[in-house]
Structure 1
């Protein structure tokens, strides 16, 4: 056992020389489809775990502005500054593409084991009398074409995607759609033949303007003459890979192009994926399969219509769901940091706020309650339990001291931590209006999501408060939470209760409650590693 407690952001010498990425995966060359890059890169981008690392020289050629300070990196892409890190792979300084692109508001997707697509998320579309403007989150390119009967001007923007969860704001009369997997098409109807049509691209915008014609209200669509949209159908199950490190369940699908899917792990360790409007696709594949890493998977009728996929695995695994070719692919991966026991792990515990930053403030009778005091008390309890397990514990603070925001994850990165856990107390604008606990993970990172699920499930069992579940930090900000975004290991932020809810704060001040929550966090960690 080794216990290190740090007030402030000071690093010990052995930490400063540690690597900045905690996985032992072998780098695999991949194809990276991203604005400003040729198809074949030398040296290539590589995949490590669920991240894609791009050599620094290629990032700069793609227009990324990169400032390095040791292992720290500040990257400006599409006008957005992102705090990141740099890792040396095969003697090349490399940057984490997915983390940076998603933090800047972009969308990324593995379309196979060795192919990553990075797209701008379209935020705004405007059509005025003689122009079309499309704004995204990352740089894009633009192409146009003219069509007749009726006279139309078409603007294709790529690489770009529409996000159903965050549709673009619109102004004017036009049609738009996801034309293909990485192209958004905007169509404006014109009253005459245009002249001097010219496309222009800015840092995050694509615009085409013209003379000699005006945009008009788009023609009414005769829906009766249009072919109906292809219904979403799912077939049976195929277990194509079944190992402790990777398991893949495939389901033949049709009509899935405009759907997004996600898996939820319940408190019993069962994974669920809902298809609320799906129809059955007749095929010869079974509706239930059994295996080793995937103990069982079943397609079940869903109450209210559609189907749901229920999967039990031999142990906790990270999961990602996406459409690959004609199949829906559910990939289960052994999470980073899993295996062994807590005695072999290094865990950074972050007591939120501190010093001049009090965090949220509530009241209990005449007593003022400060978030920074509660987070420190609970974090110390977690540390004590982990120390008894033989864990190497690193605390970002052990007293009422102020720690810079980015210094917290940078400390975890520098000491090669297996996990980063940040403890916070929630608040909202209306007293006594919200109660309960939930846990944040970054974007849709499978490892961090699994860690959040495991910890949240254990806290929910003992807290006596409403279980608000685990959720992506993208629900708060487009770029997520800084302490999670900048962490390179599985990382979560736990909101234990509401400091301005009378029932919650009564529990927060109870030492037995604090101890129960601390034990639940550790139990969730044990569940994650399978120990």
Structure 2
């Protein structure tokens, strides 16, 4: 009788051990495959439109997919943040605003997006090239990746070349005069024509122009061109598609060109020879790319070619020329406001369009009642419908619009907007209209009791902050923050502090904490100081760059705090007024974020207030009121604390 070996016996007697060995083997194989995949990743340069992606970590590719940091969202006009599970990014993008969720990849352990997923969402196209081989497009062995906006809806309408890009990209306007013929063209950089047709001739509504056409001039450049009479011209220069991806290039009247055209016509009458029939054509190469006698536009796949020497402005700078629109004012007249139209998209997004006969430089600010005041210098009211001067609406973002002409020289038209709450806004002045987009600020729904708030007492530990009169900023900011935590928790809110005692906290760790717990708001508390102690006084609240939501929050808090300090209100300001890239704690925060400089510690009057516990309590309550005003709106109730209700 044969004896079974101990190994065979163990397999029959202890099948659990065999199963465990198989599982461990599978796990090892999976880990080995993942490590092998990670080992194939290599850094790659990514361009959005024609601009390089500048991010906190390098984009990576495995040759098939390119992975990009979340920083790319801001470059395509989108906003996003990790969901609470950390496995997807919740994205707001497009116009009207849409919401979507994209899966997160974690090559080398860093949260990133697959570029192909983002391209499908926008939509956009991806171009891969080899910079060492004359930037030749290649499917493999590439070291540069371009995310190209799609160009759609190309037309010539109301005296302007118009088209739309799927996200904002730069463009260049140029013009060529040759043998009495003129071509105006627009090169859209970092773009791809959405149609499968490489070159198209399009209809237009202007009888003076001929042969409007569009084509893929370079792999990353779309060219729109139109033949013009010499009496019309385009203003040569560079521009950027607006936040909605709209490009509008106005055709301007050219008096010198008109005179030249008359002279050519007169010569043709006497000689019987025509000097041209409306402009140069744009022949296509066998590959379908349109060609014009010009060098590559700067920005095309990183090229920096000089401008074409045959481009002309007809000896004029372009300033003061009249648009080709029949309603355009002369250079001696003021711009007319012709129509004011409210276009609601939904309860959270709306647009106010102010149609004009020319470009304006508007200014806008919040009013003390939470509304908006839009001033249009150099404008006069000439409404085709007089009822548009005073309009009422039933909308969560706007209830009334009133337009008045101020009695001053030069003239100013002031448009007042009554809003139920502090709206987020984006102001977009164009050649023939001023567009004001209103939006519900981020996290401005529900009630204060639903929110998670991170409080950041400035400085701490070895970082004392500003000092004066024997007092350190780090101690005063902590005292105010602790009082604010108590007030917010009394209102039902959840509060997390970057520090609750005197200790060092790294600058980047402060917003990182807020981001990691998906806080709704980040509030950093500081004291100000001046290079000339005692000369400055008052309260300032900062928000990051031009973020609409943080700007609205800063104005809510600034208004509430300034009302109780008895000190000057220095206003809500963008942190770009301090530093080119803003303040680090605001720049890195993924939620509405503000930094409030309560008062000047080096001013004796301000300092006496700052060290007073009663003053600190008043400031804490005021910050809470401002936050509630942002979230809940309705100033008549939002300014009350629980004890007041």
Shorter chain as normaliser: what TM range? 0.5 to 0.7
What is the rounded CA distance, in whole Å, between the counterparts of 1:356 and 1:487 in structure 2? 24
Check if 1:298 corresponds to 2:402.
yes
Out of 49, 53, 64, the residue aligned to residue 64 of structure 1 is 53
After superposition, where does 1:212-361 map in structure 2 within 5 Å?
228=331, 231-241=334-344, 244-256=347-359, 259-284=360-385, 286=387, 287-293=389-395, 294-304=398-408, 305-323=411-429, 326-361=432-467
Q: How big is the shift at 1:486?
A: 1.2
Higher relative CO (Cα under 8 Å, sequence separation at least 6) belongs to 1
- Structure 1 gaps of 5+ residues are 1-55, 78-83, 98-110, 120-140, 161-175, 185-195, 212-217
Check if 1:116 corresponds to 2:214.
no
TM-score normalised by L of structure 2? 0.54
CA deviation vs aligned residue, 1:16-69 (integer Å, no higher than 9, x gap): xxxxxxxxxxxxxxxxxxxxxxxxxxxxxxxxxxxxxxxx98869974365279
Checking the alignment, whether the CA contact within 8 Å between 1:454 and 1:528 is kept in structure 2 is yes
CA deviation vs aligned residue, 1:441-499 (integer Å, no higher than 9, x gap): 11111111110110000011101110111111111122221111111111111111112
After superposition, where does 1:14-93 map in structure 2 within 5 Å?
63-64=52-53, 67=57, 73=69, 88=89, 89-91=101-103, 93=113
Out of 436, 439, 442, the residue aligned to residue 544 of structure 2 is 442
Checking the alignment, whether the CA contact within 8 Å between 1:260 and 1:322 is kept in structure 2 is no
Checking the alignment, whether the CA contact within 8 Å between 1:142 and 1:206 is kept in structure 2 is no
Change (3 A) 1:310 1:220: closer
Aligned to 1:52: none
- Structure 2 gaps of 5+ residues are 1-44, 60-66, 74-79, 83-87, 90-100, 105-112, 120-161, 191-234, 242-246, 250-293, 323-329, 633-637, 639-645
Partner SS state of residue 383, structure 1: helix
Checking the alignment, whether the CA contact within 8 Å between 1:142 and 1:207 is kept in structure 2 is no
CA deviation vs aligned residue, 1:170-212 (integer Å, no higher than 9, x gap): xxxxxx974555599xxxxxxxxxxx9898769999463999x
What is the rounded CA distance, in whole Å, between the counterparts of 1:200 and 1:244 in structure 2? 42
Change (3 A) 1:386 1:94: farther
Check if 1:500 corresponds to 2:611.
no
Checking the alignment, whether the CA contact within 8 Å between 2:423 and 2:439 is kept in structure 1 is yes
Q: How big is the shift at 1:316?
A: 2.7
Partner SS state of residue 250, structure 1: strand
Aligned to 2:588: 486
Out of 493, 504, 507, the residue aligned to residue 405 of structure 1 is 507
Checking the alignment, whether the CA contact within 8 Å between 1:230 and 1:255 is kept in structure 2 is no
> How many residues are aligned here?
408
Check if 1:470 corresponds to 2:572.
yes
Checking the alignment, whether the CA contact within 8 Å between 2:175 and 2:236 is kept in structure 1 is no
After superposition, where does 1:375-390 map in structure 2 within 5 Å?
375-390=477-492
What is the rounded CA distance, in whole Å, between the counterparts of 1:433 and 1:326 in structure 2? 45
Partner SS state of residue 606, structure 2: helix
Aligned to 2:155: none
Aligned to 2:615: 513
Question: Which deviates more from structure 2 when the two are superposed, residues 299-308 or residues 373-382?
Answer: 299-308
Checking the alignment, whether the CA contact within 8 Å between 2:50 and 2:300 is kept in structure 1 is no
Question: Which deviates more from structure 2 when the two are superposed, residues 322-331 or residues 418-427?
Answer: 322-331
Checking the alignment, whether the CA contact within 8 Å between 2:173 and 2:237 is kept in structure 1 is no
Q: How big is the shift at 1:328?
A: 2.3
Aligned to 1:44: none
Aligned to 2:306: 208
What is the rounded CA distance, in whole Å, between the counterparts of 1:264 and 1:381 in structure 2? 31
Change (3 A) 1:177 1:448: farther
**More helix by percentage:** 2
Q: How big is the shift at 1:435?
A: 0.9
What is the rounded CA distance, in whole Å, between the counterparts of 1:529 and 1:221 in structure 2? 49
Aligned to 2:474: 372
What is the rounded CA distance, in whole Å, between the counterparts of 1:113 and 1:219 in structure 2? 31
Question: Which deviates more from structure 2 when the two are superposed, residues 399-408 or residues 460-469?
Answer: 399-408
What is the rounded CA distance, in whole Å, between the counterparts of 1:281 and 1:436 in structure 2? 42
CA deviation vs aligned residue, 1:160-179 (integer Å, no higher than 9, x gap): 9xxxxxxxxxxxxxxx9745
Question: Which deviates more from structure 2 when the two are superposed, residues 87-96 or residues 238-247?
Answer: 87-96
Checking the alignment, whether the CA contact within 8 Å between 1:263 and 1:320 is kept in structure 2 is no
What is the rounded CA distance, in whole Å, between the counterparts of 1:288 and 1:279 in structure 2? 16
What is the root-mean-square deviation of aligned Cα atoms in Å? 4.8
After superposition, where does 1:154-193 map in structure 2 within 5 Å?
178=237, 181=240
What is the rounded CA distance, in whole Å, between the counterparts of 2:429 and 2:495 in structure 1? 40
What is the rounded CA distance, in whole Å, between the counterparts of 1:426 and 1:327 in structure 2? 40
Partner SS state of residue 440, structure 1: strand
